């Protein structure tokens, strides 16, 4: 009886909405709110990008190569000002992060996902790795300071040259390591069981199964995660300041592939952006230079991300 009544009611409502074309006010409101959220996000991003791009034309438009080849200065925003040393620092930090964090992180993830027994201890470790990924970057800076600069453990400061590009790179590698382990772990977990069983079925050992099935299948996911984590490392300023990035003036101006300068004092793109923004009250050159350095950093990150996407597509094609 009751159900018949409500059936009739709903039927009536449906009929009414069809015939009178009644507006679904709540649905429309919800949709509008969602659109507004998206628009707000895009608008904020657009404002940021447009202001920065506009401010940077003084440097990137008028003296593009001079700006790229120039040096870190903090007293006069003159014709020698530029980001050469910062590009050197950021580029090598990215390379060091890739070389250290990726193999170690992916290796740890392979062990955790494929070899380690499932027990309380391993899940305790996993929880802790997840927590480590959320630790503020400045804490990793302190770790780098103790480990690589003050040489409290193993005398590592002799190897890295103390306050150097190498120390900065290693610190940021430690910073992204948990993220690499987590994202790689997720990628391994997404590998279909059928693939693994198929490999075992044709007589593969565990190592052969991982090498020929799991790793190739998980490669796109691993790449996406790791390269995004690298983009994060490239944007970090706080830990680098703790391990001795130079904000004032850096004497050396090494060639981009000058390996000998890896243990020398260094600076990086986020550092010069911070430094020049602080100086911007004194000389108009610094405000435009800070904006230009932001553009360079954005291009840097974009290049890395598009490389990641390109590689991922390649792997996905292979997988297909």
- Residue ranges that bind another protein, judged by CB under 8 A: 73-76, 80, 95-96, 98-100, 102-103, 158-162, 164, 166, 211-212, 215-216, 219, 244, 246-253, 259-260, 262-265, 278, 281, 318
Tell the smallest beta-carbon distance from residue 92 to another protein (Å). 9
| C-beta closer to another protein: residue 262 or 272 | 262
| C-beta closer to another protein: residue 40 or 84 | 84
Tell the smallest beta-carbon distance from residue 47 to another protein (Å). 21
- CA–CA distance, 192 with 78 (Å, rounded to integer): 59
| C-beta closer to another protein: residue 11 or 158 | 158
| Residues 216, 320 contacting (CB under 8 angstroms) | no
- CA–CA distance, 185 with 105 (Å, rounded to integer): 9
- Give the position of tokens 């039927």: 11
Tell the smallest beta-carbon distance from residue 76 to another protein (Å). 6
- How many CB atoms neighbour CB 304 within 10 A? 17
What are residue 304's phi and psi, to 5 degrees? Answer: -65, -45
Tell the smallest beta-carbon distance from residue 132 to another protein (Å). 23
Tell the smallest beta-carbon distance from residue 251 to another protein (Å). 3
Tell the smallest beta-carbon distance from residue 263 to another protein (Å). 3
- CA–CA distance, 229 with 102 (Å, rounded to integer): 10
| C-beta closer to another protein: residue 215 or 308 | 215
| C-beta closer to another protein: residue 187 or 215 | 215
- CA–CA distance, 161 with 149 (Å, rounded to integer): 8
| C-beta closer to another protein: residue 23 or 202 | 202
167 to each of 1, 143, 230, 262, how far by Cα in Å? Answer: 78, 11, 16, 9
- Give the CA diameter of the chain: 89
| Residues 241, 139 contacting (CB under 8 angstroms) | no
Tell the smallest beta-carbon distance from residue 173 to another protein (Å). 11
Q: Determine the distance from the C-alpha atom of residue 5 to the mean position of all C-alpha atoms in its chain, rounded to a whole number.
A: 58
| C-beta closer to another protein: residue 137 or 164 | 164
- CA–CA distance, 291 with 277 (Å, rounded to integer): 9
């Amino acid at each position: 009886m009751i159900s018949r009544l409500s059936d009739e009611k709903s039927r009536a409502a449906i009929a009414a909405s069809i015939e009178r074309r009644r507006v679904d006010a709540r649905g429309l409101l919800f949709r509008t709110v969602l659109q507004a959220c998206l628009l707000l996000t895009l608008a904020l991003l657009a404002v940021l990008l447009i202001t920065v791009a506009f401010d940077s034309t003084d440097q990137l438009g008028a003296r593009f190569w001079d700006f790229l080849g120039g040096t870190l200065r903090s007293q006069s925003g003159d014709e020698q000002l530029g980001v050469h040393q910062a590009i050197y620092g950021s580029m090598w930090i990215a390379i060091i992060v890739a070389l250290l964090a990726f193999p170690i992180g992916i290796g740890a993830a392979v062990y955790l996902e494929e070899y380690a027994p499932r027990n309380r201890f391993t899940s305790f470790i996993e929880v802790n790795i997840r927590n480590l990924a959320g630790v503020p970057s400045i804490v990793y800076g302190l770790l780098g300071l103790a480990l690589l600069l003050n040489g409290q453990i193993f005398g590592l400061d002799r190897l890295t040259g103390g306050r150097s590009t190498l120390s900065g790179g290693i610190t940021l590698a430690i910073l992204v390591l948990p993220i690499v382990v987590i994202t790689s772990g997720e990628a391994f977990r997404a590998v279909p069981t059928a693939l693994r069983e198929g490999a075992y079925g044709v007589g593969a050992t565990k190592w052969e199964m991982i090498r020929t099935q799991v790793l190739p299948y998980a490669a796109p996911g691993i790449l996406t995660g790791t390269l995004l984590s690298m983009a994060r490392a490239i944007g970090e300023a706080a830990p680098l300041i703790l391990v001795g990035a130079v904000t004032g003036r850096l004497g050396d101006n090494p060639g981009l592939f000058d390996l000998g300068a890896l243990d020398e004092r260094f600076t990086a793109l986020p550092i010069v952006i911070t430094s020049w923004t602080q100086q911007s009250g004194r000389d108009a050159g610094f405000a435009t230079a800070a904006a230009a350095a932001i553009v360079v950093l954005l291009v840097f990150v974009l290049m890395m991300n598009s490389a990641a996407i390109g590689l991922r597509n390649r792997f996905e094609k292979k997988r297909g």
